């Protein structure tokens, strides 16, 4: 690999019996004790299989966001169908189990964020984690923007390397930093306060930048238009620097909820009692035109309130993308959910496992979890 790039797991020269601490992003939806969506797990399988083949004794760390489930136990049962794996309910029990761990086997530790010191990146806690291993491997791109112990603390004390997924993410997202002629950036979802730096940066790099979803509501508001009860950023961003940019595009029409009914109308006709929930047909047709004229498309975030079932705009755009010959790079939880719902996962060029991590990587061209793995 080039000088300054991350150290690959293949450079670790792993041998049978070697103790490895592996950070994964196994934060997947679980219900009724079962994994509902295994996409992130499947993307981590090459690294797990490699460690198994090398005969390493591996301790796996991951986290679980509120709402994903109460335990990583369903993930343990999923992994158990493929690997020799034990489950440790605490870090202390992981230490106890590690003494009898066989070559090529794994221990999955319960949600590491339950342990005091993880989110604080406490040095003492990081050292406690390092006592489990001789080598550290990070394959959790989705949380590599977090300055937590299991991401940036451990590499201070152990030889540290990037797993295959982390390397794929870097290689897959890097082309989006300097797109070719005929580029389109589509940014949806919410939380403008976290996405504005990236938008400002890419308005200078992409020929067309379309802002949709709840983010468009903030732009409508900045333009003096009514947004009714629609979702807007909790911290009002200063959008004066972007609303007049010639390459910025916003929805031509929106779908609103009004008195129990849905109406498609122009943004100027939204009333105080309306709630914007999706892109309208004219907007979808505009995006279809943009995609057909583009050579490269970067997409992050849905065009509507996807989790509440307003999926039509997002689905239509996804279908338009696969009809295009453009190189595609996509990411974000709801974006991936839409593509998966449509059965189109194999039709896109590169799909990132990160949401916030993807946006941070594109904005900063690196992540804290990547920097600590560089040569």
pLDDT interval class at 12 (50, 70, 90): very high
pTM: 0.93
- Say if 9-166 and 178-361 have the same CATH topology: yes
- For 9-166, give the CATH class: alpha beta
> What does the DSSP assignment read for 122-134?
-HHHHHHHHTT-S
List, in sequence order, every beta strand (DSSP E) within the chain.
19-23, 30-31, 34-35, 57-61, 85-88, 106-109, 135-138, 160-162, 183-187, 208-211, 248-249, 254-258, 261-265, 275-279, 296-300, 327-331, 350-351
Residue 191 is predicted with a pLDDT of 86
Give the tens place of pLDDT for each residue, 18-36. 999 999 999 998 888 899 8
pLDDT above 80 (res 66): no
Q: What is the pLDDT of residues 236-272, one digit of tens each?
A: 788 988 999 999 999 999 999 999 899 999 999 999 9
How large is the C-alpha radius of gyration of the chain? 22
Decide if 187 contacts 209 (C-beta within 8 A).
Answer: yes
The answer on pLDDT for 3 being more than 60 is: no
Assess contact for 170 and 1: CB atoms under 8 A: no
The structural domains of the chain, with segments of one domain joined by +, span 9-166, 178-361
Q: How confident is the model at residue 4 (pLDDT cuts 50, 70, 90)?
A: low
69 pLDDT above the threshold of 80:
no
What average pLDDT score do residues 41-57 get? 98
Averaged pLDDT for residues 83-102 = 97
Tokens of 159: 């030889």
The answer, yes or no, to whether residue 2 has pLDDT greater than 60, is: no
CATH number listed for the domain at residues 178-361 = 3.40.50.1260
Confidence of residue 81 (pLDDT cuts 50, 70, 90): very high
Residue 342, pLDDT score: 95
Cα–Cα–Cα angle for 203, 204, 206, rounded to 5 degrees: 65
Phi, psi of 137 (to 5 degrees): -130, 125
- Residue 68: the pLDDT is 61
Per the CB < 8 A criterion, the answer to whether 161 and 1 are in contact is no
Return the percentage of the chain with pLDDT > 90, whole number.
89
């Amino acid at each position: 690999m080039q000088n300054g790039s991350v150290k690959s797991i293949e450079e670790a020269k792993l041998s049978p019996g070697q103790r490895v601490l592996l950070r994964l992003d196994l934060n997947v939806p679980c219900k009724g004790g079962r994994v509902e969506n295994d996409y992130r797990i499947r993307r981590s399988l090459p690294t797990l299989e490699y460690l198994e083949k090398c005969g390493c004794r591996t301790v796996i760390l991951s986290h679980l966001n509120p709402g994903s489930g109460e335990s990583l136990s369903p993930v343990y049962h999923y992994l158990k169908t493929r690997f020799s794996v034990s489950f440790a309910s605490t870090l202390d029990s992981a230490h106890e189990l590690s003494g009898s761990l066989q070559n090529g086997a794994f221990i999955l530790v319960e949600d590491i964020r339950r342990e005091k010191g993880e989110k604080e990146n406490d040095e003492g806690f990081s050292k406690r984690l390092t006592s489990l291993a001789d080598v550290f491997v990070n394959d959790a791109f989705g949380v590599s923007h977090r300055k937590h112990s299991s991401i940036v603390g451990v590499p201070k004390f152990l030889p540290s390397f990037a797993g295959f997924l982390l390397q794929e993410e870097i290689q897959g997202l890097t082309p989006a930093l300097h797109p070719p002629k005929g580029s389109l950036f589509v940014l949806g979802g919410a939380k403008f306060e976290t996405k504005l730096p990236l938008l400002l940066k890419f308005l200078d790099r992409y020929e067309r930048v379309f802002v949709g979803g709840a983010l468009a509501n903030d732009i409508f508001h900045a333009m003096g238009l009514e947004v009714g009860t629609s979702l807007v950023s909790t911290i009002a961003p200063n959008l004066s620097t972007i609303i007049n940019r010639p390459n910025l595009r916003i929805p031509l029409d929106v779908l609103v909820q009004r008195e129990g009914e849905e109406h498609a109308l122009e943004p100027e006709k939204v009333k105080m009692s309306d709630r914007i929930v999706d892109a309208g047909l004219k907007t979808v047709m505009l995006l279809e035109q943009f995609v057909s004229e583009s050579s490269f498309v970067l997409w992050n975030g849905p065009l509507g309130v996807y989790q509440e079932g307003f999926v039509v705009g997002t689905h239509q755009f996804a279908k338009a993308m696969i009809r295009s010959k453009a190189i595609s790079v996509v990411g974000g939880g709801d974006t991936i959910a839409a593509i998966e719902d449509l059965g189109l996962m194999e039709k896109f060029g590169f799909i990132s496992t990160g949401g916030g991590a993807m946006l941070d990587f594109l904005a900063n061209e690196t992540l804290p979890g990547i920097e600590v793995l560089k040569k």
